[in-house]
């Protein structure tokens, strides 16, 4: 489902590390009645999108010491039901980053370990929907039950990983219409952990 104008503006505030519509209007150099029209008509003009992108680029260039993280985005989506073929998990779009204030996380994170990716597929509904974003910390280790980015049979996926009493990994889908399965000693070699999800942006 496409996001409405209110959701888009709220996401813009999150990306810019601000909290109020007033601050956003100042960044975009627009008056309150103008923004109110965007919301009531559920339509944001192209000039506003262009201005937002300019502000983001300016912040990336000038505010390297800002109180937050500039997180690199993966070029590829992560599959949730639809597998996404990928040959190199470190392929990064260096020019496309997302700003997150320190307060977004409960603990201090290592910026160089953070990545974010967009979700593709329906197997993790209602936890995740297509086009949602996940922020993950790069790691090859299992760090307790939770949501992970994994490489399974050369496909990049986002799934819940759990450890079974037998010590095997259980790959879980939250959508009951999709399969969950346990990996044994043989199939476990086909699954490689890429990172553990620390935040979801829906």
What's the whole-model pTM score? 0.64
pLDDT digits (tens, 9 = 90+) for 78-129: 887 644 444 444 444 445 788 888 888 888 888 888 999 999 999 999 999 9
Residue 81, pLDDT score:
63
Other Cβ atoms closer than 10 A to 87: 7
**According to the model, what pLDDT value does residue 108 have?**
81
Which tokens sit at 130? 């297509």
Q: What is the mean pLDDT of the chain?
A: 85
| Strand residues in 122-190 grouped as ranges (E) | 133-138, 146-152, 155-163, 169-172, 181-182
- The values of phi and psi at residue 102, to 5°, are -55, -35
Q: What does the pLDDT read at residue 2?
A: 54
Residue numbers in the chain where pLDDT is lower than 50: 1, 64-65, 82-94
- For residue 189, what pLDDT is reported? 81
- Report pLDDT for 111: 81
Cβ atoms within 10 Å, residue 138: 16
Q: Which CATH number fits domain 68-201: 3.10.129.10, 3.40.50.720, 2.10.109.10, 3.30.1510.10?
A: 2.10.109.10
Q: Report CA torsion sign: 144, 100, 89, 80.
A: positive
């Amino acid at each position: 489902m496409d996001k409405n104008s209110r959701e888009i503006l709220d996401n813009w505030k999150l990306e810019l590390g601000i909290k109020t519509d007033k601050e956003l209007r100042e960044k975009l150099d627009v008056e309150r009645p103008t923004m109110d029209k965007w919301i009531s008509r559920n339509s944001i003009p192209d000039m506003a999108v262009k201005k937002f992108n300019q502000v983001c680029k300016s912040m990336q260039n000038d505010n390297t010491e800002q109180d937050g993280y500039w997180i690199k985005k993966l070029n590829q989506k992560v599959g949730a039901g639809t597998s996404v073929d990928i040959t190199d998990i470190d392929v990064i779009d260096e020019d496309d980053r997302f700003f997150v204030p320190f307060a977004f996380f409960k603990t201090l994170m290592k910026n160089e370990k953070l990545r974010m990716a967009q979700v593709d597929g329906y197997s993790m509904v209602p936890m995740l929907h297509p086009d949602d974003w996940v922020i993950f910390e790069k790691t090859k280790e299992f760090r307790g039950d939770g949501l992970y980015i994994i490489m399974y049979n050369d496909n990049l996926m986002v799934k819940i990983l759990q450890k079974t009493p037998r010590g095997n990994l259980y790959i879980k889908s939250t959508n009951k219409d999709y399969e969950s399965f346990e990996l044994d000693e043989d199939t476990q070699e086909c699954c490689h952990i890429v990172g553990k999800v620390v935040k979801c942006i829906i």
